[in-house]
Structure 1
Amino acid sequence: MQHILDAILAGDTSTEDFANLEIPDHYRAATVHKDEVDMFEGIASKEKDPRKSLHVEDVALPELGPGEAYVAVMASAINYNTVWTSIFEPVPTFGFLERYGRLSELTKRHDLPYHVVGSDLSGVVLATGAGVTKWKAGDRVVAHCLSVELESPDGHNDTMLDPEQRIWGFETNFGGLAEIALVKSNQLMPKPEHLTWEEAASPGLVNCTAYRQLVSKNGGAMKQGDNVLIWGASGGLGGFATQYALNGGATPVCVVSNEEKANIVRSMGAELVINRSEEDYRFWNEDGTEQNPKEWLRFGKRIRELTGGEDIDIVFEHPGRETFGASVFVTRKGGTITTCASTSGYMHEYDNRYLWMNLKRIISSHFANYRESWEANRLIAKGKIHPTLSKTYPLDEVGQAALDVHKNLHQGKVGVLALAPEEGLGVLDEELRAQHLDKINRFRGV
């Protein structure tokens, strides 16, 4: 891979020279193994250790198919789906690969006894398959993680509704935590050139997810003046939701777990902050069998104190079971609860009287369609929305990076260097970077 890295770092390598680079038949990648899916049996979820299940090893280069591209990965990032993959919850991902492999002769490549993980990347196109016209070797890119087939009419109004919609690197193989990634060419987007490789790789999944969930007409359709309750407002998803609320003229009510995180959202411009640790909300009893409506009332009262007596228009939900009952309760009449995840548990419970009698809506949101992904990336490229990268690991330490996210030891996003030999490389637009450097570095070291 050194000759590929040299060509990227040279900065003046031509398209023709990139196209003529020899692509090795093996590359280093972070994988989980099919014969290890039972390795954590009997161990509580929180005690499962991704360092034991994630392997960094040489894997064979998959065949390049029509409409696809090889990308030399300079950097990637950790998402919760990589954590879930590494601890084989809620189900091992090999079932996804098996089902995808049955779809066609081409997709059989994905059904392997190992799974190359990762749903973010920044890097350089090495080669494209038949029919690709928009991208060429040498293009500097990032990738969104929506993989679709679009052979059914269902997905042509909203690509997220394609029956064969999958998340690349989670429900497909050959993901971004590797030196080379295989993507569909329509996953590629221009790299924001005021960012380093690791900064550019980090927004992908969470930025696009937050955009659809909060801003898009397919999600919360946020408007100016809305009060938006954001759980985990300084985290991977919440850090972008907070930025979108502020940029869009809404008022974020930011829920965080400590004062350090409160200071992060205040530095973004958020003024209404609830520190859960200080106020000690206990929405469930100790054994997690019953919720406490009095705590919902206390939480709602606190929100009204902050907003001047107003209730929440949109809830940006992703914790799931732990918070969902409270989220439904505190939403205003006719308001919206948008949900994209369930990191604290999938079996949500809420009092339906507060939903149906007050005409509230629950909207499911999952990643983003092609257009939403491009719009979200465009805002990054224009310096309107900023990365939330706090720490970066080398690929050899991907297990520790995943453990940080699993144990919530991180803030914002945790990056992973793949081919990039060090942090700080890849910036072409120094002028735009200088305008936003403090915002780009806001999460650093936190």
Structure 2
Amino acid sequence: MAAYSRTILLATRVLCSSGGAMQLLQLREQLLETCDITEQEFFLITQECSRFLVLGLTVVAQTSLRLCRSYGREEPGEAGACQDLHLCKFFIYGNCKFGKGRKLCKFSHDIQSHHNWRVLRDCTLHELDEDDLFLLLLQNDPTLLPEVCSHYNRGSGPYGCCTFKSTCTKVHLCQHFVQGDCMFGHKCKRQHAIDEHGRRVLEERGLSGDIIHRLPFVYRNKHYLTAATASTLTEKSPDFSTKPAVHLDETDILCLHFIRNSCKFRNECHQVHFHLPYKWEVLVDETWVKLQHMEDIERDFCDPSKSQSSGDRPVDFLTMTWELRHVRRLSTVSSVRKPPHYMLTTEWLWYYKVDQEKWIEYGQPDDRQRTTSVTSRILEERFLADRTADVKVVKGKREYIISFKDMYQRNLNNNTKRKVQRRPRFVSVAQVEKQASKEKP
């Protein structure tokens, strides 16, 4: 997906400007007019990228990004390791009373602060403007909005079974409208919009009028996302015959035999021929051209702490771009898919983030000599089997869940999360040449 980062960004902007969700075919029409992608690539992006949830003919914008619930209460040193946004909740609501007056708010209103920019960059959301980002948070972060009142949707009275009636602090909306299956439409006796009383209650909580106006559809999107996470939706995505069955980063594999000077197929080989087990290319005028200083780029990429290569004209590893052009990395097949005697396969290593600069490989001891119950090889096998799976991992007395979909490790007790990286083990040109010379026929 990294090669399509600009398309994903544009699609996210289009969805947010349309209320956070829209018809899949409508999104396709808009993107194909402005992006240099095929219809086949569009359907692959929307099906494979974790930014999009496709439900039938509807696509919803989603993210694992959250507002930090401990912001302002962290111990020294903890804030730097936090992977959530440090922002004023009322700033997101569009109605912080301190932000509008002389007295400054003690919580940040700066999405470009050092911490927030780093977190947004890790999620590749750093190029979204405030309005789009805030809408994305409202429909994805479960802590930002009050719940829909379940009692309001029961019983026959004007407030259903809600005993609080006009003083209820939850939202009075038709549950079937939120679920997108209300049969009565404008004749429904339950609210499909926020009434005057509800508006006053929400304004007292700090929400601006503009957000309150959009809430019914934000709640609908929240329902879709929550139901999908809980695996309660039975509706399947459309079966487009043009959708490829392979992942983007496996369509171009470097030929192992060519590196060892033993490929029998030569120019007829369906795999890419290159003298290294990795190849960095940039897209120039619809043609992939190899990048200079490839060994240096690869060395930096293999370091999980680096988000870009060194030098004055770096490759951005998060967006996979170089001077605003798409970049891709081709490699040999993963080592877990070949027997051990196969040389120059790509050994992928898995890391979790300990603090702002330090990463530890799974299966290796941390500074307290604790190791995880899974290793890089186990994670790589699970990842190749199912790239949307969740994997349970134990370290010491604590249990975590690794999500391949959003590349985070979550603590099951307090729901804190750490960033996860998948990077290859570095192999120098000299090592390749030495290994290849040993295997020449």
Compute the TM-score of the two structures, normalised by the length of structure 2. Answer: 0.22
Look at both structures and tell me which one has the larger radius of gyration over its CA atoms.
2
